[in-house]
């Protein structure tokens, strides 16, 4: 058993991870599962999920939900019932940015959201780019990509991510 507060260490060394908060064991699962599909918003924040949104399911089936998030439609490969309120959790490393407005692209990312860069913050080898898509969405990019795309505050961008990237956490109406 290894006890750590270092997320990277837990992911690299742990086969199973237990998340303990306020003296309660909130989730015990495989390391990848805890980081990809946290059981609660609290755990999502703890494992580094930065984009967490209250959304309403507008269309749902057994394997796909279409959500309304700040006026944007987002497809998620997870079941949801129309009218249900959920929290969408999306990791920054699952978001890819392209300069300019949305257009057809040779990409498997079904979600293409128009937005504007709010801020760019260096975080070691990467740059954390926050985009206003009607809600704040965080993307993690290399410094080189930011420079080559000439991204700066206010620049129009399109955020792409696959429908399998977000994870939904159920909750009541916000």
DSSP letter for each residue of 130-150: EEESSSEEEEEEEHHHHHHTT
Determine the Cα angle at 126 with ends 121 and 114, to 5°.
65
d(CA 119, CA 146): 12
- The percent of residues in the chain predicted with pLDDT above 70, rounded, is 94
Q: How many residues does the chain have?
A: 174
pLDDT at 97 over 60: yes
* Least-confidence region, from 48-52, 79-83, 131-135, 170-174: 170-174
Q: Which two tokens stand for residue 66?
A: 């279409």
Chain Cα centroid distance, residue 21: 22
pLDDT of residue 159: 95
Query: pTM for this structure?
Result: 0.86
Q: Residue 95: left (phi > 0), alpha (psi -120 to 50), or beta? A: beta
pLDDT of residue 8: 79
pLDDT of residue 173: 61
Q: Which domains does the chain have, with CATH numbers?
A: 1-48 (no CATH), 92-161 (2.40.50.100)
How far is the CA of 24 from the CAs of 14, 71, 170, in angstroms?
Answer: 19, 37, 20
pLDDT at 103 over 70: no
pLDDT at 106 over 60: no
DSSP bridge partners of 129: 120, 139
pLDDT at 104 over 70: no
More confident residue, 47 or 2: 47
pLDDT in tens, 36-82: 888 888 888 888 899 999 999 999 888 889 999 988 999 999 988 99
């Amino acid at each position: 058993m290894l006890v750590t507060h270092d997320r990277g260490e837990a992911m690299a060394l742990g086969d199973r991870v237990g998340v303990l908060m306020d003296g309660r064991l909130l989730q015990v699962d495989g390391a990848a599962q805890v980081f990809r599909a946290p059981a609660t918003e609290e755990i999502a924040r703890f494992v580094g999920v930065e984009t967490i949104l209250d959304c309403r399911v507008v269309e749902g089936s057994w394997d796909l939900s279409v959500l309304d998030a700040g006026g944007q439609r987002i497809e998620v490969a997870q079941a949801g019932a129309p009218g249900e309120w959920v929290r969408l959790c999306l990791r920054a490393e699952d978001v890819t940015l392209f300069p300019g407005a949305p257009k057809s692209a040779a990409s498997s990312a079904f979600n293409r959201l128009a937005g504007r860069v709010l801020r760019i913050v260096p975080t070691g080898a990467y740059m954390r780019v926050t985009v206003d898509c009607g809600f704040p969405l965080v993307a993690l990019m290399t410094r080189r990509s930011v420079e080559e795309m000439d991204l700066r505050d206010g620049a129009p961008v399109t955020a792409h991510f696959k429908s399998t990237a977000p994870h939904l956490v159920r909750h009541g109406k916000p």
